[in-house]
Amino acid sequence: MSLTESGSPNNVTKKRFPWWILIVILLIAIGIVVYLKGWYPQGEKPAWTEDKLPAVKVVVLNGCGFVGLASEYAEHIRDKNIDVVSLGDTPKPIYDKSVIVVRKGDVQDLKRLQKMTGIERYTLARTEYFLADFEIIIGRDFELYMN
């Protein structure tokens, strides 16, 4: 056996890059992006849009003393997915800021209510014996939430 037949640089086997590994990695990456982003055809809404969810039950209270404010605010939110089960006044008109009081509701419904009303401030006062899941106490800043 001569040097030129088996050991010469002309007969060195070139290593091929395994392209199939790159293709598999690319397909996995595309699959992850599609899974995380969600795959909805153009114009189709997800099944959990606000109009398909049950109405959030609230009690609206006038917390600042302006006459008729609770009923005026209830009228303002009537076209949203909010069911006003009762209206009233707080014992003392001392509220400068509007607030949502969580009575029986959960975090998801609280987030929905905050989005629908624009009122971000909330407090917890849980009780199983309340008429509604939430109370909305309208404060002196009511004009911010009635536009």
Q: What is the pLDDT of residues 62-87, one digit of tens each?
A: 999 999 999 999 999 989 999 999 99
Supply 40's token pair: 């909805």
pTM of the entire structure? Answer: 0.67
- The 3-state secondary structure of the chain, one letter per residue: CCHHHHCCHHHCCCCCCCHHHHHHHHHHHHHHHHHHHCCCCCCCCCCCCHHHCCCEEEEEEECCCCCCHHHHHHHHCCCCCEEEEEEEECCCCCCCCCEEEECCCCHHHHHHHHHHHCCCCEEECCCCCCCCCEEEEECCCHHHHCC
- Dig out the tokens for 65 from the structure: 């003393």
pLDDT for 102-117, tens place per residue?
999 899 999 999 999 9
> Over the stretch 12-25, which tens digit does the pLDDT of each residue have?
556 677 788 888 89
Q: Where are the domains of the chain?
A: 3-37, 50-145
Options 3.30.420, 3.10.450, 1.10.287, 3.30.70; CATH for 50-145 is 3.30.70
Q: What is the mean pLDDT of the chain?
A: 86
pLDDT of 50 above 60: yes
